[in-house]
Structure 1
């Protein structure tokens, strides 16, 4: 059956450039000119343009969440994209031969030539239709007008195995590029954040049915000693909107909205990010509290580091009747630091970001993470790839641990999310301590979920990566019913630690 556009009986051309902060205007302009000249009235064209210039003739979409992207891929007659391994793999898995235009560092579309190298490898295997010029792209799209089935793969020519092979090839090339040791120059920061008037701040507070805790969190934000404007966006996720928390005072405002994206924490945060108007964007969980000097201290360190996109602070963990301070005695955190350790001190309730860096370079919070668990760690890794994270080595946020956590017993979700992270960040394989840590956490979660065989398999993988990793041995003890997972977690939490 020929694929048709969801809004017409014409074939759908789907163009997607992902969430990379580099502009890819060249591809957008090529497709838009073709659509204006030959495609209008014959095809329906949707262009997800991200940070690039929006098309004039085709239907523009800035971002697509993962669910919507896959739905459009299923409906598309052809998928046109850059040489991103994940997108190519998904297109082939859904039975489409993707048409690829690689990003080129000569046009400032990417920092290096890894997309060109990757495309050469997979083009040789006949896995894509590669285009290096506008004329070549037009020729491929003209084929679609004459034959709407031109880019449908034959039965048996797609599937998970080939999609995984494409993804692994892309990850290998990305990893080889990343270990060259090159550090990209930091882009200049927002002028407003470097001096003059204090920059305005939008605080995104995602919430779900915790009204009493939410009000405490909001009070702590409104009580900041910061001289600039603070606008709180309370994003209600899978719950009724409570407009009684709204505030409208000079320099301090609280407004409410619903999560308009994928249900869950990531979608709620992204809803707030896209609605934010402040020069800086901050997160605060609805069960945490800011201390009065937080924003002032963070804006000061951002001003001293013009290229930095993200600033964090130390935290105070509250668990039962105990208080444990967690701080880092350093002013910067690099990508390699986060591969070795999660650094719990960098809690999402401490995040303060330049909005331009967030939207244009780092990208939104991933909505692909299973159960939205650990999405903050994946976000930190992306932020640190962009530029070193700056840190205030003092406690400025109180974090509540305990029964309020929605992840306390969701061991299977935790295991799935961590396994996803290992696949998503191939550099972990170059850092045995980091790889062993994540594998050990998966082993522990699988054991706690009662999946003994899987727990032992992950424990063996942990030991192969780093035999000193204690989580492997804890997982074995839990799998053999020598100790309970909850008992270990309570022991660690009372000391301000997690598994």
Structure 2
């Protein structure tokens, strides 16, 4: 990829960008080519992405963000597709975007959300919309003749503009194409033994000394060539310093939770104490299978843009075992809104530490009771980039009859309501919203709050009449023991 050079060309610049979508946008490129041919006194530069390059205008496939911002500042007029990020960038540069929406009937996009989005922005006078070559030509002529009409104050993130553009970003996240399921890089293709990076494994613990030692033995037994350091973080418990030798040749550090009490704070204490680029999580009652870490690190070595890798699990409950393996290798933000995807268990997480410390932030310590902190972290990570998943078992997950959250129904209900408030995007995904609302209905029923449970059950059914959790909540209201429901689901490796 060649970046556009700074030039002494003093012709007015029309900058056009079609984004990075894999659908071709030949129609817009053809219109700009025709304009360039008829206006040799104007410089037309087209960032064409996956679309074929222009024949008459200048063309470049991708432009790095810093250079794109500089070009927007130089341009007399900016032509964009219907992508919210590009429109926001143009407005921040003080330019009124000239927008041409991709049309799904012409195979330019997966659906019509750009058409609807641009129509909305045009009505709000946040863009100048064009839907034909003649209209685009006339608009560009006007921008060159009356450039002041296409200048705006750089308030593009205020008021109505912010609301509209944020809505567009949400729509983009929820309607983006499901990414192609890329193959998982082979661990055999990774570097020699000396080239594997160090990994810190954060193990929060409380009142499980025997299970904890078993967990540490499974980490020490990894067939991973690099250095693995276990950081055991004690929460509401006195630390056992004798664990320093529990990992054999693998170092073990013992700490006390220095953050907020609870699971989230304990995880963050370990993250902040880590001195490695890669951080993994493992609960103190789970065990890793020997090849788990090696296969995950191989993905991060092969894909510098990937920030988190998960894998499948085997759920062990009451002498029964159930295989839970997700049959995909990439998971998006929209996927996680639709479903919790419980196969992505926190004991499978391997994350670039920088993504937590300098990126989306650490584990949230504001979630009531730390319930669902792993899911909320996945949502934040997936907003940045798809999560990679190895569709193979890597962890044995032990479910207990008396887990930490057994009977803490009000904590569960409060945490789930917090989640819906933090992520209004759930309201745009009816099935996903109904799933969480149904969980709230069940928790309220299990806690004996019949009125609240009935209200949430009706809310669930209005959003998605087929959501089974609403009917389970109604059954519990009618007298079915909540514990019986959970035990039956757990034997199948499932939960509410």
Once residues 89 and 406 of structure 2 are traced to their aligned partners in structure 1, the CA distance between those partners, rounded to angstroms, is 40
Query: Where does residue 261 of structure 2 map in the other structure?
Result: 263
Deviation at 1:220, TM superposition (A): 0.4
Deviation at 1:344, TM superposition (A): 0.6
**1:178 and 2:170 matched:** yes
Contact 1:194 1:306 in 2 (8 A): no
Once residues 251 and 281 of structure 1 are traced to their aligned partners in structure 2, the CA distance between those partners, rounded to angstroms, is 19
The unaligned stretches of length 5 or more in structure 1 are: 1-104, 118-165, 186-192
Deviation at 1:247, TM superposition (A): 2.8
Deviation digits for residues 314-338 of structure 1 (CA, Å, limit 9, x no counterpart): 0000001101010011111111111
Choose which of 411, 418, 434 in structure 1 pairs with 2:416.
418
Contact 2:444 2:453 in 1 (8 A): yes
Deviation digits for residues 368-426 of structure 1 (CA, Å, limit 9, x no counterpart): 10000001100011111111111111101000001341011111111100010011111
Once residues 162 and 469 of structure 2 are traced to their aligned partners in structure 1, the CA distance between those partners, rounded to angstroms, is 30
Deviation at 1:244, TM superposition (A): 0.8
Aligned pairs (5 A) from 1:75-86: none
Deviation at 1:176, TM superposition (A): 3.8
Given the superposition, is the C-alpha separation of residues 352 and 479 from structure 1 closer, same or farther in structure 2, using an over 3 Å criterion?
same
Once residues 234 and 89 of structure 2 are traced to their aligned partners in structure 1, the CA distance between those partners, rounded to angstroms, is 39
Once residues 171 and 402 of structure 1 are traced to their aligned partners in structure 2, the CA distance between those partners, rounded to angstroms, is 45
Deviation at 1:116, TM superposition (A): 13
Deviation at 1:173, TM superposition (A): 6.2
Q: Secondary structure at the match of 1:234?
A: strand
Contact 1:369 1:420 in 2 (8 A): yes
Once residues 353 and 388 of structure 1 are traced to their aligned partners in structure 2, the CA distance between those partners, rounded to angstroms, is 13
Once residues 296 and 306 of structure 2 are traced to their aligned partners in structure 1, the CA distance between those partners, rounded to angstroms, is 12
Choose which of 352, 362, 366 in structure 2 pairs with 1:354.
352
Contact 1:301 1:391 in 2 (8 A): no
Q: Secondary structure at the match of 1:179?
A: helix
Q: Secondary structure at the match of 1:180?
A: helix
**1:474 and 2:466 matched:** no
Aligned pairs (5 A) from 1:12-411: 174-181=166-173, 197-247=195-245, 252-411=250-409
Once residues 454 and 490 of structure 1 are traced to their aligned partners in structure 2, the CA distance between those partners, rounded to angstroms, is 24
TM superposition score normalised by structure 1: 0.63
Query: Where does residue 144 of structure 1 map in the other structure?
Result: none
Given the superposition, is the C-alpha separation of residues 406 and 248 from structure 1 closer, same or farther in structure 2, using an over 3 Å criterion?
closer
Once residues 210 and 433 of structure 2 are traced to their aligned partners in structure 1, the CA distance between those partners, rounded to angstroms, is 39
Deviation at 1:174, TM superposition (A): 3.7
Deviation at 1:302, TM superposition (A): 2.0
The unaligned stretches of length 5 or more in structure 2 are: 1-67, 71-83, 92-157, 180-188
Q: Secondary structure at the match of 1:317?
A: strand
Once residues 163 and 249 of structure 2 are traced to their aligned partners in structure 1, the CA distance between those partners, rounded to angstroms, is 46
Query: Where does residue 487 of structure 1 map in the other structure?
Result: 484
Larger Rg: 2
Deviation at 1:468, TM superposition (A): 0.7
Q: Secondary structure at the match of 1:209?
A: coil
Aligned residue pair count? 338
Given the superposition, is the C-alpha separation of residues 194 and 309 from structure 1 closer, same or farther in structure 2, using an over 3 Å criterion?
farther
Given the superposition, is the C-alpha separation of residues 211 and 115 from structure 1 closer, same or farther in structure 2, using an over 3 Å criterion?
farther
Deviation digits for residues 162-182 of structure 1 (CA, Å, limit 9, x no counterpart): xxxx9xx98886444221359
Deviation at 1:209, TM superposition (A): 1.4
Q: Name the structure, 1 or 2, with higher relative contact order (CA <8 Å, separation 6+).
A: 1
Contact 2:220 2:249 in 1 (8 A): no
Deviation at 1:250, TM superposition (A): 8.8
**1:497 and 2:489 matched:** no
Given the superposition, is the C-alpha separation of residues 116 and 441 from structure 1 closer, same or farther in structure 2, using an over 3 Å criterion?
farther
Query: Where does residue 431 of structure 2 map in the other structure?
Result: 433
Alignment RMSD (CA, Å): 3.0
Once residues 180 and 231 of structure 1 are traced to their aligned partners in structure 2, the CA distance between those partners, rounded to angstroms, is 40
Deviation at 1:214, TM superposition (A): 0.5
Contact 1:326 1:345 in 2 (8 A): yes
Q: Secondary structure at the match of 1:252?
A: coil
Deviation at 1:283, TM superposition (A): 0.3
Once residues 263 and 171 of structure 1 are traced to their aligned partners in structure 2, the CA distance between those partners, rounded to angstroms, is 36
Contact 1:114 1:174 in 2 (8 A): no
Q: Secondary structure at the match of 2:452?
A: helix
TM superposition score normalised by structure 2: 0.64
Query: Where does residue 442 of structure 2 map in the other structure?
Result: 444
